[in-house]
Structure 1
Amino acid sequence: MAKNSAKDIEVKAFATHHVITQPNPLRKVLRRVKTPDMDDPVARAEQALAALSGEFKDWMAIEVDRLSAAWTAAQNEGFNDKRREELFHAAHDIKGDAATFGYPSAASIAESLCRVIEHAPNLAKVPAELFTHHVNAIVAIVHENTRLDSTSVSVELSRRLRKVADDYLADVNRDRPEHLEAILAPSIVPAE
């Protein structure tokens, strides 16, 4: 590389300091190409997502069926480590996928269900209605998401279920301060 000459270096003097700016030698080797055919990976990703969007409802239906089956198994046979993991993973997958697939309220409710499973000291002592309401709400949101008035109802349902779950968890974990901090933390699921 050629050395810069003194005339290429710019010096700005201030009362307390000097700023020395050297020319950028890469400008001489950089070639800008203007072409309408430039690859736009974001646009390609959006097109791919749009092409798949017709399948989102089917994918969510599969996830909801998995959640329902896990809850039914836990109800009929009781909780053990395997059934707890199945229920947690089904809810966790919905929490992660629902917002992307167009069901953000289902994601919030699934997060609340995950919190109950994760922080309840004894799942067998959790009122069955708490699980049932979460699972039924997710099923209803996924199956009834086409109605225009369903969004406000599902947001309110999500908010109330989260409040009930948090109140329950705060009560049963009052002697477990390491869990209270996580229970009282705000939701990590994006708001609608």
Structure 2
Amino acid sequence: MSKPRPGDLQVATFPTHQVITQANPLRRAMRRLAENAPAEPADDPVARAEAALASLSGEFGDWMAEECQRLAATHAELLRDGVTKDNRAALFRAAHDIKGDAATFGFPAAAATAASLCRIIEHAPDLAKVPAELIANHVAAIQAIVREGAGGQKSEVQRALNRKLRGVADDYLAAVNRDRPEHLEAILAPSIAPDE
């Protein structure tokens, strides 16, 4: 019987069961060093990623401003043309992108507000019946948070604004979804996002 190759599956058979062991494909990617080889500085991919992020940090404000402009443009289109499948999807994508990017770019309060807006778009049975002020207030809050930046007393004001917007949004969604238990369960579940 030939010796199994490193990439083969190994099957050990027992009277009541079998144990299948898959080879570790990472062994081929690993580089072995001789024990007496001179030590090389260890590569730290996390440190490299953090350094790359730090070198780009000066552009974060500009990127967030562009995201806010896109959100405002999709909101203006929704107001101008009424709710359509396309502009509803565009508004959701713009809010969702901000929700995903804002904390990384140093605007965690904008991420929380965008998350609340996403919840409205996702769980409202009819977006055309959502009070226009509720969506407009979310869009305006995101723009103000990005424009003003974070830090110090601003952060407290932004957190208070987020709590208020999220509370109003949740109250509205709970009322309009009282006959839709699958949405109501998601709406009433506690938030897992930090800083909300």
Normalising by structure 2, we get a TM-score of 0.79
**TM-aligned CA distance change 1:120 to 1:43, over 3 Å:** same
1:103 pairs with 107, 123, 139, which one? 107
* Distance (whole Å) between structure 2 residues aligned to residue 64 and residue 99 of structure 1: 14
Alignment map for 1:70-89 (pairs within 5 Å): 70-89=74-93
* Distance (whole Å) between structure 2 residues aligned to residue 36 and residue 47 of structure 1: 20
* Distance (whole Å) between structure 2 residues aligned to residue 121 and residue 114 of structure 1: 13
Query: Does residue 38 of the first structure (1) align with residue 32 of the second (2)?
Result: no
1:7-42 per-position Cα deviation (integer Å, ceiling 9, x unaligned) = xxxxxxxxxxxxxxxxxxxxxx98487736221111
Unaligned runs of 5+ in 1: 1-28
* Distance (whole Å) between structure 1 residues aligned to residue 148 and residue 195 of structure 2: 19
Query: Does residue 153 of the first structure (1) align with residue 157 of the second (2)?
Result: yes
**TM-aligned CA distance change 1:36 to 1:126, over 3 Å:** same
Normalising by structure 1, we get a TM-score of 0.80
* Equivalent position SS for 2:178: coil
Unaligned runs of 5+ in 2: 1-32
Which residue is equivalent to 2:190? Answer: 186
* Distance (whole Å) between structure 2 residues aligned to residue 118 and residue 164 of structure 1: 16
Contact residue 107 and residue 189 of structure 1 kept, 8 A: no
Which residue is equivalent to 2:52? Answer: 48
Cα RMSD, aligned residues only:
1.8
1:131-174 per-position Cα deviation (integer Å, ceiling 9, x unaligned) = 01000000000000156321100000001100000000000000
**TM-aligned CA distance change 1:38 to 1:172, over 3 Å:** same
Query: Does residue 177 of the first structure (1) align with residue 174 of the second (2)?
Result: no
Runs of 4+ in 1 over 6 A off after TM superposition: none
* Distance (whole Å) between structure 2 residues aligned to residue 33 and residue 171 of structure 1: 69
Which residue is equivalent to 1:164? Answer: 168
Identity of aligned residues (%): 62
1:53-97 per-position Cα deviation (integer Å, ceiling 9, x unaligned) = 011001101100000000010011100000000000000000000
The count of corresponding residues between Structure 1 and Structure 2 is 164
Paired letter, 2:106: G
Query: Does residue 63 of the first structure (1) align with residue 45 of the second (2)?
Result: no
